[in-house]
Amino acid sequence: MLQQTQVARVVEPWHRFLDRFPSPSSCATAPLSDVLRLWGGLGFSRRAKALHDSAKIIRDEYDGLVPRDVEALRALPGVGEYTSNAIASFAFGERVAVVDTNVGRVLARALANDVLTTSRARALANSLLPRSDARAFNQAMLDLGAQFCRSTPRCDACPVRRACRWRIDGGVDPAPHSAGVSRTQGRFEGSDRQLRGRILALLRERPRQRRTVARQLDDVDVDRFDRVLDGLVIDGLVQRRGPVLDLASG
């Protein structure tokens, strides 16, 4: 849920989700449509399908227990290096670095005073890991980036300002374009992402005929509507039953 989504938007859906699905197996057993309904408001609904697919793998191949091994985690649908390392570190205390956009800014400014490639940022983060309690270190780095080393940094209040190479040596801010962890999202208003969300929101309420959905989205060109709808079907989020559209059952 936290992939490309702010914590404030995730808290309520996360609690709601765990109340309904307290374990991977309970999520795996439920139809995908139930997962998609609980995902409402978070966007990027392909993540919901990836989570459902991952839950089925965890149920079937790991006896319902989330694997702690980074490589096993990374093999799950929708899980990349950041997510796998975050789970391994915070859930299981594994000694792996967690590098997101926030951490990338700290590394680029405070440590390197240089624009960092993704691989260089990860190597630098790994070199900083303490021998014990890497989990606390990773959390501190994330908080440092989120609270102080922001896009517009709060240098005067930053607890590492006296050791920050960028503050000491000066120069152009190296943080933009460093680490390459998150890609900048395009404009949401009027985008296909917004239209996908509008279609899914209608189908979360109940199945509807395609013409009914198209009529309720009469501000959208029909060719664009069909293209976006086809994308939702291809992604396995929507299913067609003749003229009727519904959330995919998985």
> Would you give the DSSP letter of residue 218?
T
pLDDT of residue 85: 96
**Closest to 45 measured CA to CA, from 191, 181, 196:** 196
CATH number, domain 101-169, options 1.10.1670.10, 2.60.40.1930, 3.40.50.2000, 3.90.1010.10: 1.10.1670.10
> CA–CA separation, 67 vs 72, rounded Å?
6
pLDDT of residue 21: 97
Each residue of 140-183: pLDDT tens digit?
999 999 999 999 999 999 999 999 999 999 999 999 988 875 55
Q: Is the dihedral of CA 136, 137, 140, 141 positive or negative?
A: negative
Q: 44: exposed, middle or buried (C-beta count within 10 Å: 0-12, 13-18, 19+)?
A: middle
> CA–CA separation, 181 vs 122, rounded Å?
10
pLDDT of residue 179: 80
Each residue of 204-215: pLDDT tens digit?
999 999 999 999
* DSSP bridge partners of 42: none
pTM (whole model) above 0.75: yes
pLDDT of residue 14: 94
CATH number, domain 192-247, options 1.10.10, 2.40.160, 1.10.4160, 1.10.150: 1.10.10
pLDDT of residue 250: 83
Query: Same fold for the domain at 101-169 and the one at 192-247?
Result: no
Name every residue whose Cβ is closer than 8 Å to that of residue 203 and which is 6 or more positions away in sequence: 213, 238, 245, 246, 247
CATH classification (class only), 7-66: mainly alpha
Q: Enumerate the domain spans of the chain.
A: 7-66, 101-169, 192-247
Which amino acid appears at position 32 of this protein?
L
Q: Which residues of the chain carry a pLDDT beneath 70?
A: 181-185
